[in-house]
Amino acid sequence: MEPRLFDAHCHLDLMAYPNAVADETAAIGLGVFDCGVDPRDFAAAKKRASRYPNIIAGVGLHPWWLADGRCGPAEVNLLCKVAAQERYIGEVGLDFSARFAGSEPLQMQALDRLCDALAQCPLAGRVISIHAVRSAGTVLDVLESHGLLIPNPDSPAIIFHWFSGTSDELARARNVGCYFSVNDRMLATKRGREYARQIPLNRLLLETDAPAEANAETSAQSLIRSLTWTSTRIASLKNCDAKHIESAVLANVHSVFGLR
């Protein structure tokens, strides 16, 4: 079934009933990029996704998990080993906000090692969903240093999820061909709305980043409501019809994720 909407960044593993949500997304035609936050959970996520053509599982390691000690060197090693063979990379990146002060070197080392692994084992059609809080420029520097921003058939599609960097960083990411996945909470701020207005239609994706809290009860219908609200709000910001937004986003989904 062709998805009528696609959530380009959510976390089934963090939902209270991930298998039930997976069943529901398949039944109602919602596509999902299930972004991993801990590489130890990826095997189960990939097994679940194999049962559903509408779900894509990505291996990831959230910088928060590194910063607070939930993951360490062994998990970074596992991430790099698995990601080198995988097309879809879930939530990875850097978070330099004040609450994680002191963990920047650890985060940088992990991202650098991951990018090195990806550069050493290129795969056509690879997708990376990036978390970058107060660090978008640094993330772009790391990606660039490993040649991952050079346009060629093996270059990954880079998605900045819930972009919150500076306007100069937005322009830089946009100019090197990155994609941006936008959610309703991003549109709650004046800056987020302005960034959504500036993102070219051919680089726009929609996301929910659900659940808002770990183990929260979530439904596929709530994901659809969030995505629909976001597309309607972006349409208003861009002075066009919501169906035009959804059509452009689906075209981008096909291009990025290779859906048929």
Q: In angstroms, rounded to a whole number, what is the distance separating the alpha carbons of residues 107 and 73? A: 11
- Greater pLDDT, 25 or 154: 25
Residues 201-206: what's their mean pLDDT?
98
Q: How buried is residue 235: exposed, middle or buried, by Cβ count under 10 Å (0-12/13-18/19+)? A: middle
Asked if 93 contacts 135 with a C-beta cutoff of 8 angstroms, the reply is yes
Kindly report the number of other CB atoms within 10 A of residue 260's CB atom. Answer: 6
Q: In angstroms, rounded to a whole number, what is the distance separating the alpha carbons of residues 81 and 53?
A: 25
- Report the pLDDT value the prediction gives residue 1, as an integer from 0 to 100: 53
Report the pLDDT value the prediction gives residue 151, as an integer from 0 to 100.
86
H/E stretch holding 43 = helix 42-49
DSSP state of 156: P
Residue 14: pLDDT band by 50, 70, 90 thresholds?
very high
175-190 mean pLDDT: 97
Conformational region of residue 125, where left means phi above 0, alpha means psi within -120 to 50, and beta covers everything else: left
Q: Read off the pLDDT of each residue in 207-231 and give the average, rounded to a whole number.
A: 96
Q: How far apart are CA 241 and CA 113, in angstroms?
A: 43
What per-residue confidence (pLDDT) applies to 196? 98
User: Is the pLDDT score of 130 beyond 80?
Assistant: yes
Tokens (6 digits) for 34? 């299930």
User: Using 50, 70 and 90 to split pLDDT, how confident is the model at 2?
Assistant: low
Q: What is the pLDDT of residues 105-125, one digit of tens each?
A: 999 999 999 999 999 999 999
The pLDDT score that the predictor gives to residue 3 is 73
Distance separating alpha carbons of residues 117 and 175, to the nearest angstrom: 25
pTM: 0.97
Percent of the chain predicted with pLDDT > 90: 94
pLDDT of residue 259: 67
Looking at residue 258, its pLDDT comes to 83
Task: Tell me the pLDDT tens digit for each residue of 223-257.
Answer: 999 999 999 999 999 999 999 999 999 999 999 99
Average pLDDT score, the chain: 96
- Number of Cβ within 10 Å of residue 225's Cβ equals 13
For 60-77, what is the mean pLDDT?
Answer: 97
